[in-house]
């Protein structure tokens, strides 16, 4: 058991006599299992002690603790708190501590699970999400975007009333799309709104609703295919980026392995985040991708330089954890893999350290495709490595294939050739 200074011990004793008292040990065990530092556990205990004192003044029973009561404490009480003896921790500290408290209390069935909304719109969205997941097999990010767009449309049209699809007119759809399109600066963003709405109306058509007129009311904004060049790093910028990964810095070996996975294998951010220790065959020199955008299992050769970067991270920097993910958190909760957002942040920070004016992680995937073309690979080979389902997706890189383009270029008018 962790030992705390006397002032902390007094707080814990007071907490033991409160409504939350019977669960203090379980709360500490919950945080310890997530490998939080002793000082952080002590801070969180002080925070929930503060919350317990507030519960006492409000005569709030344990069973009434939920997200609403926590929000009232954080938003109304904390900014003007004048509690005697309270150690002033930040809102972030209190919010994190109380979030863990709710999780722990629900694990012990001391409080009710979060209420499920029974609004007709929310029930409809849950049914549609289930359809997208189990019937269409869409990725979580795609489903989240679609639910956000469809939810806005249904809420705007029905509020809390029952959903009657027949009452939606093409004019309603066109007006809603115009409002949503104004929020996007590029045609691709507005196109995602069209895709989300059409997908929902097709779902309703499968249920027998007459929605063909609603689908016809939506048209994709002009966005000429292959109209632009995919951005990429030059050879000099690649060397600059790779060279910056040797700087001594916190979590640098993890950053190096992440960048190499994106640059050498062309992996998407979510694919890097979901790599597992079981996915690498060190003897065969291969890596298996099990959570791809196309929902397929692909096996790629593991370049030596990439494997060495991953091995250095695993041997010298990766925290001890029971999680099988390759890339895990360096701070508590440590038994959790990092997400795609942290992959993108890591690559963005690598650009900044190298002095490069870029921010998009996908740029490394484009760079890898260009390097394959420059080395003599065909578009079909590039498509196989990038795991594109359709060769049309890979055609954008034809504009980067200078070797092939020079062979079909016509002489400039008036030139000697």
DSSP result, 173-225: HHHHHHHHHTT-SSHHHHHHHHHHHHHHHHHHHHTT---HHHHHT--PPP--T
Instruction: For the chain, give the number of residues.
Output: 417
Distance in angstroms (rounded) separating the CA atoms of residues 343 and 259: 9
pLDDT at 1 over 80: no
Report yes or no: 265 and 368 within 8 Å, Cβ to Cβ: yes
Nearest to 154 by CA among 204, 188, 216, 189: 204
pTM recorded for the entire structure: 0.74
Return the minimum-mean-pLDDT range out of 32-46, 100-114, 364-378.
364-378
**What would the mean pLDDT of 327-339 be, rounded to a whole number?**
86
pLDDT at 29: 94
Decide if 362 is catalytic. yes
Q: Which of 8, 30, 94, 268 is catalytic?
A: 268
**Does residue 333 have a cis peptide bond before it, meaning omega lies within 30 degrees of 0?**
yes
* 248 lies in the same domain as 356: yes
Return the minimum-mean-pLDDT range out of 8-12, 251-255, 357-361.
8-12
pLDDT at 18: 80
Phi, psi of 298 (to 5 degrees): -120, 145
pLDDT at 416 over 70: no
Decide if 268 is catalytic. yes
Identify the three-state secondary structure at position 289. Answer: strand
Has residue 369 been placed in a domain? no
Judging by beta carbons within 10 Å of its beta carbon (0-12, 13-18, 19+), is residue 333 exposed, middle or buried? middle
pLDDT at 226: 56
Question: What pLDDT, in 10s, does the model give residues 122-178?
Answer: 999 999 999 999 999 888 889 999 999 999 999 999 988 999 999 999 999 999 999
* Structure confidence at residue 417 as a pLDDT band (50, 70, 90): low
* 310 lies in the same domain as 278: yes
Q: What's the first-to-final CA gap in the chain, in angstroms?
A: 84
* Structure confidence at residue 85 as a pLDDT band (50, 70, 90): low
Q: What is the DSSP letter of 157?
A: H
Q: Which of 28, 53, 318, 365 is catalytic?
A: 365
* 279 lies in the same domain as 346: yes
Give percent of the chain above pLDDT 70: 87
Q: Which of 293, 312, 353, 399 is catalytic?
A: 293
* 300 lies in the same domain as 353: yes
Has residue 290 been placed in a domain? yes
Give residue 165's domain range: 120-216
Judging by beta carbons within 10 Å of its beta carbon (0-12, 13-18, 19+), is residue 120 exposed, middle or buried? middle
Question: What pLDDT, in 10s, does the model give residues 293-305?
Answer: 667 788 999 999 9
Structure tokens, 320: 């001890």
* 191 lies in the same domain as 253: no
pLDDT at 223 over 80: no
* Structure confidence at residue 384 as a pLDDT band (50, 70, 90): confident
pLDDT at 9 over 50: no
Decide if 136 is catalytic. no
Specify the number of domains making up the chain. Answer: 3
Decide if 365 is catalytic. yes
pLDDT at 380: 82
Decide if 152 is catalytic. no
Has residue 210 been placed in a domain? yes
Question: What pLDDT, in 10s, does the model give residues 233-281?
Answer: 999 999 999 999 887 777 899 999 999 999 999 999 999 999 999 999 9
Q: Widest CA span of the chain, in angstroms?
A: 95
* 343 lies in the same domain as 246: yes
Q: Which segments of 231-301 does DSSP mark as H helices, in order?
A: 235-244, 252-265, 269-273
Has residue 391 been placed in a domain? no
Nearest to 260 by CA among 307, 301, 300: 307
pLDDT at 259: 96
Decide if 28 is catalytic. no
Question: What pLDDT, in 10s, does the model give residues 164-192?
Answer: 999 999 999 999 999 998 888 777 788 99
* 155 lies in the same domain as 90: no
Structure tokens, 126: 């849950």
* More reliable by pLDDT, 7 or 342: 342
Question: What pLDDT, in 10s, does the model give residues 276-324?
Answer: 999 999 999 999 998 776 677 889 999 999 999 999 999 999 988 888 9
* 292 lies in the same domain as 350: yes
* 247 lies in the same domain as 353: yes
Q: Which segments of 76-186 does DSSP mark as H helices, in order?
A: 91-107, 120-134, 140-158, 170-181
Report yes or no: 368 and 264 within 8 Å, Cβ to Cβ: yes
Distance in angstroms (rounded) separating the CA atoms of residues 80 and 262: 48
Q: What is the CATH number of the domain that holds 72?
A: 1.10.150
pLDDT at 115: 82
Q: What is the CATH number of the domain that holds 254?
A: 1.10.443.10
162 Cβ partners below 8 Å, 6+ apart? 120
pLDDT at 400: 59
């Amino acid at each position: 058991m962790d030992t705390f200074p006397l002032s902390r011990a007094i707080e814990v004793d007071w907490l033991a006599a409160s409504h939350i008292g019977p669960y203090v040990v379980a709360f500490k065990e919950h945080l310890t299992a997530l490998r939080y530092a002793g000082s952080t556990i002590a801070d969180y205990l002080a925070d929930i002690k503060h919350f317990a004192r507030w519960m006492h003044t409000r005569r709030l029973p344990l069973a009434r603790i939920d997200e609403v009561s926590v929000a009232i404490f954080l938003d109304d009480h904390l900014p003007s708190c004048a509690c005697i003896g309270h150690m002033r921790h930040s809102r972030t500290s209190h919010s994190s501590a109380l979030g863990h408290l709710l999780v722990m209390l629900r694990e012990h069935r001391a409080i009710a699970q979060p209420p499920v909304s029974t609004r007709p719109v929310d029930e409809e969205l849950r049914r549609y999400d289930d359809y997208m997941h189990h019937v269409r097999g869409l990725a979580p990010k795609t489903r989240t975007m679609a639910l956000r767009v469809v939810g806005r449309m249904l809420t705007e049209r029905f509020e809390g009333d029952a959903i009657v699809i027949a009452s939606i007119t093409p004019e309603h759809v066109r007006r809603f799309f115009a409002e949503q399109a104004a929020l996007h600066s590029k045609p691709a963003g507005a196109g995602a709104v069209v895709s989300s709405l059409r997908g929902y109306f097709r779902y309703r058509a499968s249920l027998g609703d007459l929605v063909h007129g609603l689908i016809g009311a939506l048209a994709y904004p002009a966005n000429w295919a292959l109209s632009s060049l995919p951005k990429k790093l030059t050879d000099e910028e690649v060397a600059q980026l790779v060279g910056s990964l040797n700087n001594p810095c916190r979590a640098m070996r993890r950053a190096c392995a992440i960048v190499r996975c994106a640059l050498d294998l062309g992996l998407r951010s979510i694919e890097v985040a979901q790599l597992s220790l079981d996915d690498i065959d060190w003897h065969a020199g291969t890596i298996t991708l099990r959570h791809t955008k196309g929902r397929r299992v692909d096996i790629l050769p593991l370049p030596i330089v990439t494997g060495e970067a991953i091995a250095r991270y695993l041997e010298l920097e990766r925290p001890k954890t029971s999680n099988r993910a390759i890339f895990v958190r360096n701070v508590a909760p440590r038994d959790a893999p990092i997400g795609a957002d942290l992959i993108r942040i890591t690559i963005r920070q690598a650009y900044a350290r190298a002095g490069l004016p870029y921010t998009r992680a996908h740029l490394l995937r484009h760079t890898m495709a260009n390097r394959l073309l420059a080395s003599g690979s065909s578009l079909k080979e590039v498509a196989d490595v990038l795991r594109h389902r359709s060769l049309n997706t890979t055609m954008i890189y034809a504009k980067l294939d200078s070797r092939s383009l020079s062979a079909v270029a016509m002489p400039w008018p008036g030139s000697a050739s």
